[in-house]
Amino acid sequence: MQITIDEAKCCGAGQCVLVAPEVFDQRDEDGIVVLLNASPDAAQHAAVREAATICPAAAIQVRE
């Protein structure tokens, strides 16, 4: 799995961080997403897919 994020789309909603806190964080200044791990291990995959699905800005792309 390879994850990419589009910071320009991110609206700082934080949904991804709630679902997959080991993969996503948010910048303190403005809440924009920070990708902690672009290729997480299998244990994280379901959470990452859910994060991509629920992101209101469609800012998370997942390549399997």
- Per CB under 6 A, residues contacting ligand SF4 are 5, 10-16, 24, 26, 33, 55-57, 59-60
Q: Min. distance of Cβ 2 from ligand SF4 in angstroms?
A: 16
- Work out the number of other CB atoms within 10 angstroms of the CB of residue 40: 19
Q: Min. distance of Cβ 3 from ligand SF4 in angstroms?
A: 10
User: Based on CB atoms, which residue is closest to ligand SF4, 39 or 56?
Assistant: 56
- What span, in angstroms and rounded, lies between the C-alpha atoms of 35 and 7? 10
Are 3 and 60 within 8 A, CB to CB? Answer: yes
